[in-house]
Each structure stands twice: as C-alpha cells, then as structure tokens.
Amino acid sequence: MDAKEIIARRVAQEIQPDTLVNLGIGLPSMVANYLPKEVHVFFQAENGVIGLGARPPEGMEDPDLTDAGGGFVTAVPGAASIDSAM
C-alpha cells in the first residue's frame, strides 16, 4: 500500500454519513474508493457532478463521467449534474 492509498483510507474513516463532500483534484478523488458501502455520502466533483462513486472496473469507464482531475468515476443512484455558468 503506497502513501496516497494510506491517506485516502484514513480520510474515508473521517467522513460522516449523510454528508456532501467536495473532492478536489488528485489524492482527494481516491477517498470514494475506501468509503464503507454502508456509509451513505454524496461526493461532489469540481466539474459539477454530485453523487460520484468509486472508480469503475477496468473496461467499464464512461468518458463522460469523470472527476475534477479527469479520472473515471461511477455515479451513485440519485446522482445529478450541476452548472455554475450563470
């Protein structure tokens, strides 16, 4: 386990259920991979998606569904996209 994975796992332990968490670019985007399945949280990416899930399995990536750093993610049931271009 590398240092980034250790940090992401530790941060995941601090996230409280039923919260909205903004994930920044880079290491923060890894946190969703380590959140226990029973903890209900909505992750929001800088690109306007609320309801990000963990990385998809290899071969199941959707080029239209990425985190703020361009990494592939999944969407949880109830996910939404928002726009701040007003």
Q: Does the pTM exceed 0.75?
A: no
Q: Do 74 and 32 contact (CB within 8 A), yes or no?
A: no
Confidence at residue 3, expressed as pLDDT on a 0 to 100 scale: 93
Find residue 45's DSSP bridge partners: 23
Tokens representing residue 27 in the block: 């290491």
Residue 86 has pLDDT above 70, yes or no: no
Residue 14: left if φ>0, alpha if ψ -120 to 50, beta else—which one?
A: alpha
Q: How far apart are CA 32 and CA 63, in angstroms?
A: 18
For residue range 26-79, list pLDDT tens digits in order.
777 788 888 888 888 888 777 778 888 888 999 999 998 887 778 888 888 888
For residue range 11-35, list pLDDT tens digits in order.
999 999 988 888 777 777 788 888 8
Annotation marks residue 38 as catalytic: no
Of these residues, 5, 14, 38, 46, which one is catalytic? Answer: 46
Confidence at residue 26, expressed as pLDDT on a 0 to 100 scale: 73
Find residue 80's DSSP bridge partners: 50
